[in-house]
């Protein structure tokens, strides 16, 4: 069985071998497929799971998606220790090696350009949460039972006002943080705020950003984020990374901002 | 930095990157899955996994 080719990333050729026990998507070890000045990192995957129709169906299955996402990330992570990979979107599949080579040949210029832009850089994720959901906080500070309709309306107005204040405060905080961090990063991207039901973390996500930072400046960047953490009560800052530059791999991220 | 690295990566953070980031390439197989569809599939997969008692439409970004 030869299978299809799942492609994780495109890199410049690198000398260091990958960890031998590394397994990728579907348990297949990642292999290097060199072509000219580029190397594609691929796994052989079964057609029964990765042809268009089964793949589409599988992607709706969160357990399956989680497995593939973790395996994909595992390979990208391993690559990050030996080179600067250009990660591809999850689920990029080719029929055979020659399909992958044709793709490398066709996109050569754009890949090399993007790899130059990302060289020696990593991505840091920064999220800002409003710590306590005001709606949940209400029962903790019980207000006297409204004596009249007018009382009720006044209480409701006050609750709405404190909610607005917290939002306002969080928004100001997040905007300022984003400006500061953008200033010490080569590039920045905003992701959609995460739904608390899905992320399983407490609080409301008001900023979900990614910053492209030179490796050598990472420590400084992390310290900068850390310093903001104890600043404002009710607001929580979370840092993730270092990631491969997933959020900066696309063409729309090709440094065209502000040109 | 090492502390962050050792912690298990949250799935949502991973999917933010794997399903919305990365280079989109027209593969032989995934040419139509690659872009917009995948983001929608992502949402469907997540929503269907959310506890049924919580009716949770995925929030649109503001």
Residues of A in contact with B28 (CB under 8 A): 93-95, 99
Burial class (CB in 10 A: 0-12, 13-18, 19+), A108: middle
Q: What is the ipTM of this complex?
A: 0.78
Kindly state whether residue B45 falls inside one of the protein's structural domains: yes
What are the boundaries of each domain within chain A? 4-118, 121-252
**A and B: number of Cβ contacts within 8 A:** 157
B14 preceded by a cis bond (ω within 30 of 0): no
- Candidates 3.90.660, 3.30.70, 3.50.50, 3.30.410; correct CATH number of A121-252? 3.30.70
Q: From CA B22, how far away is CA B19, in angstroms rounded?
A: 8
pLDDT at position A234: 85
Kindly state whether residue B25 falls inside one of the protein's structural domains: yes
pLDDT in tens, chain A (259 residues): 478 999 999 999 998 888 888 999 999 999 999 999 999 999 999 999 998 888 888 887 888 888 999 999 999 999 999 999 999 988 899 989 999 999 999 999 999 999 999 999 999 999 999 986 545 444 445 566 777 888 888 888 887 777 788 888 889 999 999 999 999 999 999 988 887 766 677 788 999 999 999 999 999 999 999 988 776 788 899 999 999 999 999 765 444 443 3
Q: From CA B20, how far away is CA A192, in angstroms rounded?
A: 10
CB A88 within 8 A of CB B25: yes
User: Is the pLDDT confidence value at B36 over 70?
Assistant: no
Distance from CA of B29 to the nearest CA of A (A): 5
Q: From CA A60, how far away is CA A226, in angstroms rounded?
A: 37
> How many domains does the structure of chain B reveal?
1
Kindly state whether residue B58 falls inside one of the protein's structural domains: no
Residue A96 per-residue DSSP state: S
Give pLDDT tens digits for A58-110: 887 888 888 999 999 999 999 999 999 999 988 899 989 999 999 999 999 99
Residues of A in contact with B19 (CB under 8 A): 89-90
Strand-by-strand arrangement of the A121-130 sheet: A187-190, A204-214, A121-130, A235-243
Find the residue in A nearest to B5 (Cα): A241
Kindly state whether residue B38 falls inside one of the protein's structural domains: yes
Mean pLDDT of all residues belonging to chain A = 86
Find the residue in A nearest to B17 (Cα): A246
Least confident window among A167-171, A229-233, B24-28, B38-42: B38-42
Q: What is the 3-state secondary structure (H, E, C) of A175-215?
A: HHHHHHHHHCCCEEEECCCCCHHHHCCCCEEEEEEEEEEEH
Candidates B4, B7, B23: best to mutate against A (most CBs of A within 10 A) is B23
- pTM of this prediction? 0.80
């Amino acid at each position: 069985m030869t299978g299809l080719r799942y492609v994780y990333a495109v890199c410049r050729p690198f000398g260091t071998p990958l960890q031998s026990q590394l397994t990728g998507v579907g348990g297949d070890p990642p292999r290097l497929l060199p072509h000219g000045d580029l190397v594609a990192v691929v796994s052989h995957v079964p057609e029964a799971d990765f042809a268009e129709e089964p793949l589409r169906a599988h992607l709706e299955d969160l357990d399956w998606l989680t497995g593939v996402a973790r395996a994909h990330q595992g390979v990208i992570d391993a690559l990050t220790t030996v080179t600067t990979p250009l990660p591809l979107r999850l689920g990029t599949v080719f029929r055979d090696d020659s399909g992958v080579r044709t793709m490398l040949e066709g996109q050569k210029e754009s890949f090399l350009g993007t790899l130059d832009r990302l060289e020696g850089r990593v991505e840091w994720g920064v999220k800002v949460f409003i710590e306590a959901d005001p709606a949940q906080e209400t029962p903790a500070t019980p207000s006297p039972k409204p004596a009249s309709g007018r009382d009720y309306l006044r209480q409701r107005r006050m609750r709405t006002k404190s909610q607005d204040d917290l939002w306002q405060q969080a928004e100001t905080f997040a905007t300022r943080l984003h400006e500061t961090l953008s200033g010490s990063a080569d590039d920045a991207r905003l992701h959609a705020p995460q739904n608390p039901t899905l992320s399983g973390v407490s609080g409301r996500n008001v900023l979900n950003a990614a910053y492209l930072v030179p490796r050598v400046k990472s420590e400084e960047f992390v310290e900068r984020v850390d310093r903001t953490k104890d600043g404002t009560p009710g607001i929580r800052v979370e840092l993730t990374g270092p990631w491969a530059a997933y959020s900066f791999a696309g063409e729309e991220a090709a440094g065209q901002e502000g040109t | 930095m090492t502390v962050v690295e050792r912690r298990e990566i949250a799935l949502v953070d991973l999917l933010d990157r794997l399903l919305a980031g990365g280079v989109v390439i027209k593969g032989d197989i995934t040419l139509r899955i690659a872009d917009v569809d995948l983001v929608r599939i992502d949402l469907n997969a997540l929503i269907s996994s959310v506890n049924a008692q919580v009716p949770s439409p995925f929030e649109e970004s503001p």
